Amino acid sequence: MSDDAEPTISRFKRNHKWQRNGKMDYARSVRKWNITPSDQTTFHIKDGKLLRHHTPPAAGFVPSDHAPPITETGHLHTTHKPYLMEKIATTAVTSTSATIAVPAAASSGPVVGPGESEVPATGVQNDLEFVVPVTIGTPGVTAHLDFDTGSADLWVWGPQIQADRTKHTLYDPAASQTGKSSQGLWWRIQYGDGSVAAGEVHTDVINLGGVALPNQSVQVATALSDTFISEDGSDGLLGLAFPNMNTVQPMQQVTPMANLVAENLLVKPIFTVKLDKDDASGFYTFGDIAPDSHTGIKSADIKYQPVITTHGFWEFTSPTIRVGDKLVKREANNTAIADTGTTILMLSDAACQLVYSQIPGAVLSADAGGWILPSNSTPPHVGFGFGPDGLEYTISGEDLKYGDMQDGTHYGAIQSRGQAPYDILGDVFLRRVYAIFDQSPGAPKIGFAQRSLE
């Protein structure tokens, strides 16, 4: 693509309320993805509650260079949306938790079983690091939304929500000249821990990076759990996954991206993501790939793989993992999901153990709430297989140091996915690539180009 092309660009705004906190970010990810327990989950969903483990290492757990050969297991729960659960599917776990025995942390809730305690709303990081301004209605109000490739709802705070209105922009469809009620439609999102967002459905015009999209379905929240009320940084969410994940009942609604494609408002049916630590240089584009001068990579370096849309996610095959010089083949059907709505990475227990076994002093700690590593360590780079052709995309060893624990250790950027059947590659991974999400009807694909590891 030439440098004179001008795709529609939506720039990030940093959510200054967000603070990097490893165990709170992991707890949020567990809640979102309905992670059920495995040997290495320090947080998990069980019986509709978000729980924290406080139990000893499992028999045979070896946090050292002598880790056993990697094996992969996983089970998909009987729901079409693994993390949007009306009725929680639980899984019996026969092994004990692979964590160090310590007293329950002060932020933990009541004890609910041996070695477990419930995590209160204050123990979960609800905000994301970046939000994007989206204008809704006529006259327009500008809401700052989490752009989330792991969901397919556009929902915003409505006027019925009782909260500090100095911290949020509320969208009132009755105050918009172009707003219309979608009679008979409703929505309700329930996460694995029982937290809920629910409300009405309206249509209105939205403006996304300078592109006006009329008649877009907007889900207006009339009820939110305390976990959402406690958020300060965002006014809702804009889902960029596939429409078959949309939660509107009794008829699913079209996502903004699908609507842009259907209305022929884009040159190409794609959006792209460039995440950066500096909010001035991070952006989404809609309709085309950004000029090379914006991304720091050449468009010719982008490689694509087909997307598996069965679950509605941006999911692709990931058959290998490389830790330093050690390349390990994973199960042939291992897949990964690229999710801008998750900050960390979540892999199988075997893959987690493989990574941390290569870092002297790394341990799985119940006190810390996950895998930790020495701050003065030099972790190896970690590469993730992309499709069947031997392609890899890599994060640096320093990326593994996700959050400073202020005790000579860092919280690890890679944590257990529990019994989920796929890896979750969140923002830590996406910062190291330029990502292209191609929603071509009948042939969706995802593309990456490696960015600098410095």
Give per-residue pLDDT as tens, 174-215: 999 999 999 999 999 987 767 889 999 999 999 988 889 999
Residue 65 pLDDT exceeds 70: no
Containing H/E element for 44?
A: strand 43-46
Cβ atoms of 8 and 211 within 8 Å: the answer is: yes
Q: How confident is the model at residue 444 (pLDDT cuts 50, 70, 90)?
A: very high
Tokens for 24? 């709170």
Cβ atoms of 241 and 314 within 8 Å: the answer is: yes
Mean pLDDT of 14-35: 82
Is 339 assigned a catalytic role?
yes
Distances (CA, A) of 77 to 82, 196, 286, 313, 315: 7, 20, 33, 16, 17
Among 127, 146, 148, 193, the one annotated catalytic: 148
pTM value? 0.85
**Least confident stretch, 49-58, 213-222, 259-268, 298-307:** 49-58
Give SS3 for 130. strand
| pLDDT score at 278 | 58
Residue 293 pLDDT exceeds 80: no
Residue 76 pLDDT exceeds 50: no
| pLDDT score at 17 | 62
The end-to-end CA distance of the chain, in Å, is 25
Structural fold of domain 22-124+298-450: Cathepsin D, subunit A; domain 1 (2.40.70)
Is 4 assigned a catalytic role?
no
The phi and psi torsions of 384 (rounded to 5 degrees) equal: -115, 125
| pLDDT score at 53 | 83
Among 146, 204, 339, 427, the one annotated catalytic: 339
Which residue in 26, 121, 2, 134 sits closest to 352, CA to CA?
A: 26
Mean pLDDT of 285-295: 86
Which residue in 124, 116, 79, 77 sits closest to 96, CA to CA?
A: 116
| pLDDT score at 96 | 27
Tokens for 159? 């006027």
- Strand intervals (E) in 5-129: 8-11, 13-14, 43-46, 49-53, 111-113, 116-118
Q: How confident is the model at residue 93 (pLDDT cuts 50, 70, 90)?
A: very low
Q: In which residue ranges of the chain is CATH 2.40.70.10 found?
A: 22-124+298-450, 126-268
> How many Å apart are CA 419 and CA 441, to the nearest integer?
31
**365-381 residue pLDDT tens:** 988 999 999 999 999 99
Residue 102 pLDDT exceeds 80: no
| pLDDT score at 121 | 52
Structural fold of domain 126-268: Cathepsin D, subunit A; domain 1 (2.40.70)
Q: How confident is the model at residue 100 (pLDDT cuts 50, 70, 90)?
A: very low
Residue 43 pLDDT exceeds 80: yes
| pLDDT score at 394 | 98
Higher pLDDT, 230 or 10: 230
| pLDDT score at 120 | 62
**314-364 residue pLDDT tens:** 999 999 999 999 999 998 799 999 999 999 999 999 999 999 999 999 999
Mean pLDDT of 307-315: 96
Residue 86 pLDDT exceeds 70: no
| pLDDT score at 248 | 98
**148-171 residue pLDDT tens:** 999 999 999 999 987 666 788 999
